[in-house]
Structure 1
Amino acid sequence: MADEKKTEETPAKGGGKKKLIMIIAIALVALGGGGFGGYMMFAPKKATAEPAPTPGVVAVLDAITINLADGHYLKLKMTLQATTEAAEAPDGSKAMDIAIELYSGRKMDELMSNAERDRTKKELVEKVVKAYTVDKKKEIMDIYFTTFVIQ
């Protein structure tokens, strides 16, 4: 009778190991799926980028002279790269006014630095694009300097 008890207990132990393995496997799958689901739910969302504007007409502006600090001046000639959303070639008066405001009174040494010139150009582009945006339609996409002379 003692042998019968051992044979009855043996299948129960084997079944217990299988159950334990199944429970662990299910827990791992659930945790993995939950982790992936949590990541997908709380992961930073990628910003939906606006489609790149399509280049349109290029408007060449006349050169202007801007007074810098300490009796120096900047001769600036630029072109505006319009987008296809612009109904016609843009009038450059707003862009020239923004450039005069941005560069007036600056020190010559500042603008001689490539880094500062690039920074101010980026600022100029941002302001001009904003000034030429009508009803969320960007009419200007970039500015090109064709003359940038400091004396």
Structure 2
Amino acid sequence: MAKDDKDEKDEKKKGGKKKLLIIIIVAAVVVLGGGGVGAYFAFFAHSGEENAHPEPTPSAVVVAEAITVNLADGHYLKIAIALQTTTNAVEAVDTSKALDIVISQFSNLEVAELSTNKQREAEKAELTEKVVKAYTEEKLEYVMAVYFTEFVIQ
């Protein structure tokens, strides 16, 4: 009987060592796998998005000449704009596209549509969106903002 008890204890020890070995192997696989996944997300997951469309950096401000736009009911808008260029613009930006967009956007508007700051800011935001889109080529923005330097309604 003593021999049988000893054999049972040896088998339990061997079985316990096997379970411990399996637990250690599984834990190592989980830790290494988690580290690999973490490294992937830390180094590779966002790098493609950042390189595809870098944030524009401000450069020179290009001032366009003032123009007069016909509003509704015989009124006029004298408007001058300036374009905030980016470092992507290697040469001076031609303002003719921006002025054409200004004329298209403001022509025949009612004076009431431009009389409050809130309405002017809404028009400016829409104008900025259109101008930035017009001066973007192959995901490189050459203009990042539009400023009103003169805005007179008569």
Question: Which residue of structure 1 lines up, in the alignment, with residue 103 of structure 2?
Answer: 100
Q: Return closer, same or farther for 1:143/1:19 CA change in 2, 3 Å cut-off.
A: same
Q: Return closer, same or farther for 1:75/1:97 CA change in 2, 3 Å cut-off.
A: same
Structure 2 counterparts to residues 1-150 of structure 1, below 5 A: 2-35=1-34, 37=36, 40=40, 45-46=45-46, 47-48=49-50, 49-50=53-54, 52-56=56-60, 58-68=61-71, 74-84=77-87, 85-88=89-92, 90-106=93-109, 111=114, 112=116, 114=118, 117-133=120-136, 138-149=141-152
- SS of the residue corresponding to residue 59 of structure 1 reads strand
Return the offset for 1:70.
6.4
TM-score (norm 2): 0.66
Letter matched to residue 23 of structure 2 = I
- Cα separation, 1, equivalents of 2:75 and 2:18: 86
- CA deviation vs aligned residue, 1:39-87 (integer Å, no higher than 9, x gap): 647xx9321242534503x222233343455666544321122345342
Structure 1: stretches of 5+ with no match in the other structure: none
Structure 2: stretches of 5+ with no match in the other structure: none
Q: Identity of paired residues, percent?
A: 41
Task: Please identify, of 6-15 and 101-110, the stretch whose mean Cα deviation from structure 2 is larger.
Answer: 101-110
RMSD between aligned alpha carbons? 3.5
Query: What number of residue pairs does the alignment pair up?
Result: 145
**Are the counterparts in 2 of residues 81 and 140 from structure 1 also a CA contact under 8 Å?**
yes
Q: Return closer, same or farther for 1:13/1:119 CA change in 2, 3 Å cut-off.
A: farther
Letter matched to residue 82 of structure 2 = T
Letter matched to residue 141 of structure 1 = M
Letter matched to residue 129 of structure 2 = E
- Cα separation, 1, equivalents of 2:31 and 2:17: 21
Q: Return closer, same or farther for 1:95/1:26 CA change in 2, 3 Å cut-off.
A: same
- Cα separation, 1, equivalents of 2:56 and 2:30: 41
- SS of the residue corresponding to residue 146 of structure 2 reads strand
TM-score (norm 1): 0.67
- CA deviation vs aligned residue, 1:107-136 (integer Å, no higher than 9, x gap): 55655363x644543442333234334676
